[in-house]
Amino acid sequence: MYLKHFNFREEPFGTSPDPKFLYRSGIHQEALERLTTAVSMRKGINAIIGEPGLGKSTLVRTMLSGFQKNVHFAWVFNTTLNSRELFKYICRDFGLKPKGDDMSELLMELYTFLIKEFEKGKINVLIIDEAQNLKPEVLEEIRQLSNLETVNKKLLQIILSGQPQLDAHLNHPMLHQLKQRISMKAVLSRLGMEDTVKYIRHRLWVAGARREDIFTEAALSAIHDVTDGVPRLINQACDNALLTAARKKMKQVDSVLIAELLQKGNITPATGKEFLPQEEEKDTTKFFTTTDSLSKKRNGNNKNIGAEILETELGYFDGVDLGQLAIN
């Protein structure tokens, strides 16, 4: 483990969606605020859309933690269920013990529960993970759950969390009413270079680091180029780099180490990245060796020399822009 080597209290790049590690980029902060507002005002159905690894689950858990004990939630991870199985799953996750399989009885049992929780001042939230995998008829059943309401308040707040395919599914004629019922939709995108650096340093600080130079500037640039700003891939790259650095008794992670891990397959590049042919990859090793030698000589005026060579001479990656936050 590298915790002792780098004096961390805990792992800075774990895989669990821990709210305290959420880096609030402009996109994530706005999505969090709008999602929190929509749920607190009991708007009904909301959606958060983004490719895998952009922090949808962490964002939702952060929102839930903000309500503390005033929220009661059910989280559906299995999206291969049919309507009856899904409703039973929802009831059980809310702590109920459904007695039968009849849909009307399940709905009545759920409605009775939601009314009681509402009277206690609780906010009931249903999160559907990987919602793009649900069949249209099941999504339509979920829409009908939003009909459970008082005179002026929705009893159940529904969050559809899914990949970009969910947007396409919502254009299905059968889901026309569901699309109209979505009060808030946030679309997350990848982090830019500046936010990638801030993201890495934020997680290091939360984990107990008190040095900002654990990753060299060239290494930070290389990590962004490899991962294209996908938080899950950044976590993987940084975790592997720290582990290897500790094993080699290195005090810093440099761009040479990132290149080695990439070539060994220990770092997963972002989708859409193109690599040089095999023969040229051999030259890549030579390039990074040269870059590292130069980086040892750099001063305040040319501190980004490794990143500049990476961009101009290697031409290693193509950038991908997935757009900005969209609110409907």
Element spanning 186, H or E: strand 182-187
Tens of pLDDT, residues 85-119 = 999 999 999 999 887 778 888 999 999 999 999 99
pLDDT band at 181 (very low <50, low <70, confident <90, very high): very high
Q: Which of 235, 229, 225, 313 is nearest to 273 (CA)?
A: 225
Span 148-174, mean pLDDT?
Answer: 90
Query: What CATH number should be reported for the domain whose range is 26-187?
Result: 3.40.50.300
Beta carbons of 212 and 220 less than 8 angstroms apart:
no
Q: How many CB atoms lie within 10 A of CB 67?
A: 16
- pLDDT at 75 exceeding the cut of 70: yes
Looking at residue 273, its pLDDT comes to: 57
pTM of the model: 0.79
Give residue 156's pLDDT: 95
Domain parsing of the chain, residue ranges: 3-11+191-314, 26-187
Instruction: Assess whether pLDDT exceeds 70 at residue 244.
Output: yes
- Strand order, beta sheet including 182-187: 71-76, 123-128, 157-162, 45-49, 182-187
SS3 147: coil
Section 168-190 average pLDDT: 90
Average pLDDT, whole number, for the chain?
83
Q: pLDDT of 9-61, one tens digit each?
A: 999 999 899 999 999 999 999 999 999 999 999 999 999 999 999 999 999 99
pLDDT value, residue 272:
62
289-315 mean pLDDT: 37
